[in-house]
Amino acid sequence: LGDVYKRQIIQIISTMPDKNINIDTDVILRYLEKTASPEEIRQLREWIALSEENANYFQEIRNIWEVTTPAVDPEKIDTSKALAKVKNRIHTTPQAPMKRTRLITYCRRIAAILLLPAIIAVVALLMKKDHQAPLIAFNEVTAPYGTVSTLTLPDSSKVWLNAGSTLKYPTAFTSNVREVEMSGEAYFEVHADKKHPFIVSTGDLKVTATGTAFNVCNFAKAKEEVITLVTGKVNVSHENNIRHLLPGQQLNYQKASKSMEVTDIDTYQYISWKDGILAFRDDPLKTIFDRLEQVYRVRFILKDPSINQFTYRATFKGETLDEILDYMGMSIPITFRTTETKQEGNDSVSVRTIEVYKN
């Protein structure tokens, strides 16, 4: 972080109302600069967890830092061109908006409830045969693209489903474990029950918890599965390979090599989607476009490989895809062009194709 921007942040913070905050602001700034020591990171996380006031104060400083920190090198921005573009948007007659992505609302598909006829149960008991466990029905819920769905499971655990994600769960947990299946992305707040572990099956991985909060990201087209732990503890297993996560840690599983790596991260970026927020923190544009494809069901085509060299920092809440692209085009030397909208898959859903050009 340049000295000019750092002085700006400190000057803004000095004008904020006195909150009796018991932490050195420089520690927060070094954390945002990614230059803080492991000990400082630990102290900051403990301080944030002490109270909601601390968490809100930290978020205020983070927002100020994002606003005053340029997304790209200011010397590389053509200010005259940017000013002309803004004036043109203000003074020209608004054009017809780009064709919005058609959001297809999927109804929650509830599996048929299979009840074992009472007469069969009575006959089975009279014949003194082994008593069979009753058949359990399953619900399957899919979140429509462009939205976030929430639901409460039979054990009172809460789940947030990201756009295009699916969760399958029983109508009642009757065994020694509480197991669900999912694809896409979901955030879980698991009801505590040590005697009945909560298991999320994602295909290759199984995430086991008793009472905790964590995020699972496993889209079919992605090359990796990502598990992010917010509170508590979880075990992530693939066959005989088991990893243990602590709060603030993330496991990255590569589907091709079947390798697992655990790193320390800032969980906010990976769980903010559940509150309708898209948070990007100096992420490569390819990563951002992949995220937008998952949420809005569009397809980006990069026409110049050098576009991947750009990074972008922003926080969006409530903006449409077209508004997000407009903001990106104003601060990064790139241009978007919609080339076609075609049917994709067996559900006849229109998928918008967007080409990305370097200015």
Q: What integer is the mean pLDDT of 37-65? A: 80
Q: Whose CA is closest to 222, among 268, 246, 261, 256?
A: 256
Predicted model pTM: 0.62
The phi-psi region of residue 329 (left if phi > 0; otherwise alpha if psi is between -120 and 50; otherwise beta) is alpha
Q: What integer is the mean pLDDT of 61-66? A: 73
pLDDT above 90 as % of the chain: 44
Q: What is the SS3 string spanning 17-84?
A: CCCCCCCCHHHHHHHHHCCCCHHHHHHHHHHHHHCHHHHHHHHHHHHHHHHHCCCCCHHHCCHHHHHH
- Going by their DSSP bridges, the two strands 334-344 and 311-317 should be labelled as unpaired
Q: Are 229 and 249 in contact (CB under 8 A)?
A: yes
Q: Two tokens at 137? A: 């029905």
pLDDT above 70 as % of the chain: 72
**R_g over Cα of the chain:** 24
Q: What are phi and psi of 251, to 5 degrees?
A: -105, 130
Q: What is the SS3 string spanning 234-282?
A: EEEEECCEEEEECCCEEEEEECCCCEEEEEECCCHHHHHHHHCEEEEEE
Q: Which residue has the tokens 């990305």?
A: 356
- Residue 21 scores a pLDDT above 70: no
Which of the two residues, 347 and 107, has the higher pLDDT score? 347
Q: In this predicted structure, which of 93-97, 152-156, 216-220, 292-296 has the lowest mean pLDDT?
A: 93-97
Let me know how many helices (H) and strands (E) the chain has, helices first: 9, 19
pLDDT in tens, 264-304: 998 998 999 999 899 998 899 988 998 898 888 899 999 99
Per-residue confidence (pLDDT) for residue 106, from 0 to 100: 34
Angle 170-176-178 (CA atoms, 0-180°, nearest 5)?
35
Which of the two residues, 112 and 350, has the higher pLDDT score? 350
Which of the two residues, 222 and 6, has the higher pLDDT score? 222
Per-residue confidence (pLDDT) for residue 12, from 0 to 100: 57
Per-residue confidence (pLDDT) for residue 258, from 0 to 100: 93
- Residue 99 scores a pLDDT above 70: no
Q: What integer is the mean pLDDT of 132-159? A: 87
Q: In this predicted structure, which of 17-21, 63-67, 110-114, 302-306 has the lowest mean pLDDT?
A: 110-114
Average per-residue pLDDT for the chain: 79
Distance CA 139, CA 149 (A): 14
